[in-house]
Amino acid sequence: MTAEKQQEHTSSQVKDELLHVQFGDFIFDLGQDELIHHHSRAITKLEPQVSQLLHLFVTHPAEVLSKEYLQDTLWPNTIVEQNSLYQLLTKIRRLLNDSSRSPQYIKTLPKKGYCFIAPVTRYHPQAKPINDSVINNTNVSEPNYLWLWLVPALIICFSAYAFFSQYDVAPETPQYQLQDVSYELGLESDVDVHISENLMAYVKDIYTLHISNKQGQVLHQLNSPYRVAFPTWQSTGSLLAYWRYKEDQCELFIMTPQGAQNHQAPSIACESAIRPVWKSSDELVLSVLQKGQLTPYLYRISQQDLVKLPLSMPRQSIYKGAVKVWNGDVFYLLNHANHQSSLIKLNGETVMNWDFPVWLAAYNPKTQAIITNDSSQRHALVATHLDGRQYEVYQTAQGLFTNVSIDQQGDIYTAIESWQVNIRDKDQLPIFSTSSIDYLPVSNRLGETAFMSRRSGVCEVYLHADNQVVRLSHHKGYEYVQFLEWRPDLSMLLSNRDLDLALYDRQGQVLQFTTELNEKIRNIGWYNNNTVYAFDGQQLHFYNLQGHLINTIHLDAQFVYFDAQAKRWLRLKNRILYSQDDLNSTGTELAKLTTQQTNLLHNIRLKNNTLYWQSSWSKQDYIWRLPLEAGQDANIVKQGNLIWHFDISPYEELTIAKMEALEGDIKRLVATSIKP
């Protein structure tokens, strides 16, 4: 047998026979999905996909495994985003105490894949309790052919790394190095660091506020009965402001680094809020979401006075938040209808522009640049100077950037989050798996499911039918898809794209046209097989399938929805639900709903003469069910955190698109070199 054949035979034999393997400080039981620490004997039960990925690595030691191979093996016949693989890699590295920068086990080969670099040996569980001498002399009496092919394979692995690394494009200056600050299990988010003092604050698992130093050592912990968000330090003092969501109100609290409450502002009716900005030691700019629109206010602590800011902005532009920048001035971030962004003064004067939507922004006092998301929306950070000079700060493969804070040294602190959401079929098997930002599953009586995925800032519509997933839209823009409705005869789909409507058949998009509405769309639907409608809270527009406006009705309501089967309108106004054959008539009162049931009402579904919808209360999500017969009450079907969308099958089976395997860590980006 030639050396090449012997190596191939030995490699195949090892892969077939390995049921227990040892590498570094760990023993891996492939049959039981258990990872055992050699010294402590601690046993960790692995998730199936985590175990499967580790199995691939240890049975292919020193081999370069491509991302495509790993994805196809882990998710056969499933469309999956690249970030899903990164999540599994992150979990394995945490379990092994491994680092992507100085790896002991899994090495990243840029543009090529991953290589398991630790020596792997067989381990016999029937042996006596293991000690170092036994492990280091396993099978001493017979040749260990594993090493014969492992050494040259390691040489090949490192040679491949050197080869591909030399063709990597060096990042533009300044160059940043990513460091771990918080690496605990669970979700760490909404990080903010003090500009000069050694203080940091962040939210832990939604309900807990941590105050720590910048090294991540927790100094104080505040447990809240309600969700907390966006802690923000004073720049000239050491007070910390943060939001608390209670029922349909936003509550602003101010506390000391020791956890003592300093101030509580009057509650503000809101749907949500984003990070406040300290304008001075007594004033904050608050950005509050009300009636679907983010609105800027000035709040004076000493007077407890809240004043709406008269921000001058172009028509169809959206306010996205405030940023304290050069000389301590507060500017305002806008997104425009053409999907570009700008930074403006209160009087509307433009200071800076971006050619992509910006939603995340922080000022770097060291470089005097503004750090924002890039055009991918969440996968990278870019720096922009006043003169228009722009460069990439850092691109992450570990998850998505969700917020940024910067101190006077120029160190960038950021939360990187990752999650998994599965849309599942009637047998609870995943048909689509990704770390995307949104979903909108809607099934039909044929057993098909259409859904939306907003991947890298781009909304796409997919159809799962006959055990296949087909992408119906191919967009490169940023239009947001919020609604998806089947035609009554199930031959077409209707969706929105911002203020446009789009029609699809089973091959792809057929038509996209403007609604000519002035406000944000509240809901859309089919009036019949040849007519669709869109409603913005004031106007109800009807269109034919060529996209032409054929009728308009002026109507004041929270929503109107046409029941095509019963040939009637459902109209909600002042929390009373009416059934109307004609929108000009008074109609029949069906139910009186509560504030909790109608707060942030969305995701309307109608199945078997029963209405379903989703609401939010204290930032918790609720799914409601109401039989459409007079005198019936609405009841809760499901409640929980981070339920994005849901669907009801024709058999009234509930399907939920919900964040799963949610994780987040606080990272620090430190500049390692800056060119003059």
646 in helix, strand or coil? strand
350's CB contacts (< 8 A; 6+ apart) are 342, 343, 344
Q: Rounded distance, CA 88 to CA 83, Å?
A: 9
116's CB contacts (< 8 A; 6+ apart) are 23, 57, 58, 60, 61, 62, 63, 105, 106, 107
pLDDT at 94: 83
Q: Are 496 and 517 in contact (CB under 8 A)?
A: no
Both tokens of residue 439?
Answer: 């979903």
Low-confidence ranges of the chain (pLDDT < 70): 1-18, 77-83, 124-173, 377, 397-398, 421-422, 425-428, 431-438, 454-457, 476-477, 660-661, 673-676
DSSP code of residue 48: H
Q: Are 653 and 445 in contact (CB under 8 A)?
A: no
pTM, full prediction: 0.70
140's CB contacts (< 8 A; 6+ apart) are none
Strand partners of residue 453: 439, 460
Give CA separation, 637 vs 496, 625, 654, in Å. 27, 6, 9
DSSP code of residue 328: G
pLDDT in tens, 270-326: 999 999 999 999 999 999 999 878 999 999 999 999 999 999 988 878 999 999 998
Task: For 39-174, list the strands marked E by DSSP.
Answer: 43-45, 64-65, 79-80, 106-109, 113-116, 121-122
% of the chain exceeding 70 in pLDDT: 84
446 in helix, strand or coil? coil
Both tokens of residue 444?
Answer: 């039909």
Q: Are 563 and 606 in contact (CB under 8 A)?
A: yes
pLDDT at 173: 63
221's CB contacts (< 8 A; 6+ apart) are 204, 208, 209, 210, 211, 259
Both tokens of residue 46?
Answer: 């692995």
Helix (H) or strand (E) holding 598: helix 595-598
Distance of CA 574 to the CA centre of its chain: 33
The 10 Å Cβ neighbour count of residue 215 is 10
Measured in degrees and rounded to the nearest 5, phi and psi for residue 598 equal -115, -5
Q: Rounded distance, CA 535 to CA 515, Å?
A: 9
pLDDT at 664: 85
